Amino acid sequence: MSTISRAAQFAQRTAHLRASTIREMLKVTQQPDVISFGGGLPAPELFPTEAIARACSRVMERLGPAALQYSVTEGIPEMRVWIAERLTRRFGRIFEAESVQIVNGSQQGLDLVGKVFLDPGDHVVLEDPSYLGAIQAFDAYQTRYLTVDTDEDGLLPDSLERVLERADPFPKFLYLVPNFQNPTGRTLSGRRREKVVRVCEHFGLPIVEDDPYGELRFEGSDLPPLISYESAAPIVYLGTGSKIMAPGMRIAWLVIPDDEIREKIVLAKQGADLHSGTFAQYVFHEYAMDGDAFDAHVRTIAQTYARRRGVMAESLAEFMPEGVRFTRPSGGMFLWVTVPEVDTTELLRISTESKVVFVPGVNFYPGRNVNDGMRLNFSNASEKNIRVGVERLGHAIRVYKGVS
């Protein structure tokens, strides 16, 4: 009888899969006395639980078994229309319901994009640093990364141009998070948006624009998404209900004006899970249909996070040792702290003992060891805990440096 080794039983692509530090850390944060700036969890006390319960009953009364039946891969028509209309209203250009594909969280959207674009060894262009979940999704397709420099206004178009001129093999797409980026909280400036589109258009490079935080703006006005520019380079836009309603619904969407890409995504989605949950889509739509209540809810979330961001920034200014720098994002759920000459992976060990956790920045750099950064989430902890947690963090840094 012939046998094969355990390793050979698995597909080669599994060798590229890495455990998510964030998921691992969520286990630690289950302990009640730990203050977590680690995960990317929305504030659960803001979930509209009662309104969702009412929406569930209305869906069952109105639709009965139809809400529990298989449905089409693209998503229920009501949801696709709602998304197209919302984007049209926000950005003043027409978005068609036909270009919307409902997915099971934008994380599934990233996986499907990987599935239809990436062969082993292909290049993807990323911001440096970039969203860890996207790196995880693309890793499954045995991809490699080219990184573009960023500053406080996001990705640098000149750096993108240089990367593309030298790229071999030429990359399959650029992936970016232009609003309140995960992990840095930075936003791609208005002036750079069109430049990025034009550079990609010049090189014929598709863009994958991931925008989970755009609606959570605390100050200033909305900037147009890249997909709102006329472009010969195809753009796939990802939005999600996770941060404006509840992540457990797993309702998110891709907007794919390019017919050929969309057809391939639909087939990939069909093979993956046939369609997103019919019931969850109807409930989401039922809840979201009351536009005024929905908008008021999103405003409440943004106002709450704005206060938490403010407390975190003030506490950092108060409790961090000399030399520590941090971003003060105008929206979203994260800010980025740079602690010069500190390896934040080591620091996490000390801070975990002090009962405060964060994500070490090195995890967000696919190709380099940048050890002095950390991502702090400010959406999930109360204002009081944010202050206590940042004070503990300041203490942990002093312990690390031997000055405490």
Ligand X SMILES: Cc1ncc(COP(=O)(O)O)c(C=O)c1O
The yes or no reply on residue 214 touching ligand X (CB under 6 A) is: no
Q: Is 374 exposed, middle or buried (0-12, 13-18, 19+ CB in 10 A)?
A: buried
The yes or no reply on residue 180 touching ligand X (CB under 6 A) is: no
The yes or no reply on residue 106 touching ligand X (CB under 6 A) is: yes
The yes or no reply on residue 331 touching ligand X (CB under 6 A) is: no
Q: Which is nearer to ligand X, 137 or 197 (CB)?
A: 137
How many residues bind ligand X (CB under 6 A)? The answer is 14
Q: Is 355 exposed, middle or buried (0-12, 13-18, 19+ CB in 10 A)?
A: middle
d(CA 173, CA 114): 10
Under 8 Å between Cβ of 28 and 21: no
User: Which one-letter amino acid corresponds to residue 287?
Assistant: Y
Of 150, 182, 281, 327, the residue at the interface with ligand X (CB under 6 A) is 182
Rg (CA), the chain: 22
Of 40, 178, 234, 373, the residue at the interface with ligand X (CB under 6 A) is 40
The yes or no reply on residue 131 touching ligand X (CB under 6 A) is: yes
Q: Which is nearer to ligand X, 36 or 182 (CB)?
A: 182
Among the candidate windows 43-51, 240-248, 294-302, 320-328, which touches ligand X by CB under 6 A?
240-248
Among the candidate windows 141-149, 198-206, 226-234, 239-247, which touches ligand X by CB under 6 A?
239-247
The yes or no reply on residue 363 touching ligand X (CB under 6 A) is: no
- Find residue 377's DSSP bridge partners: 334
Of 101, 228, 240, 363, the residue at the interface with ligand X (CB under 6 A) is 240
The yes or no reply on residue 177 touching ligand X (CB under 6 A) is: yes
* Shortest reach from residue 95's CB to ligand X, in Å: 18
d(CA 53, CA 56): 5
Of 212, 214, 277, 329, the residue at the interface with ligand X (CB under 6 A) is 212
* Shortest reach from residue 114's CB to ligand X, in Å: 13
User: Which one-letter amino acid corresponds to residue 117?
Assistant: F
The yes or no reply on residue 130 touching ligand X (CB under 6 A) is: no
The yes or no reply on residue 129 touching ligand X (CB under 6 A) is: no
CA dihedral 301, 302, 304, 306 (to 10 degrees): 160
Helix (H, G, I), strand (E, B) or coil at 13: helix
Q: Which is nearer to ligand X, 242 or 278 (CB)?
A: 242
* Shortest reach from residue 250's CB to ligand X, in Å: 7
Order of strands across the sheet with 359-360? 325-326, 334-338, 373-377, 359-360
User: Which one-letter amino acid corresponds to residue 199?
Assistant: V
Helix (H, G, I), strand (E, B) or coil at 93: coil
Order of strands across the sheet with 235-240? 100-104, 251-255, 235-240, 207-210, 173-176, 123-127, 144-148
Residues that bind ligand X (CB under 6 A): 40, 105-107, 131, 133, 177, 182, 210, 212, 240, 242, 247, 252
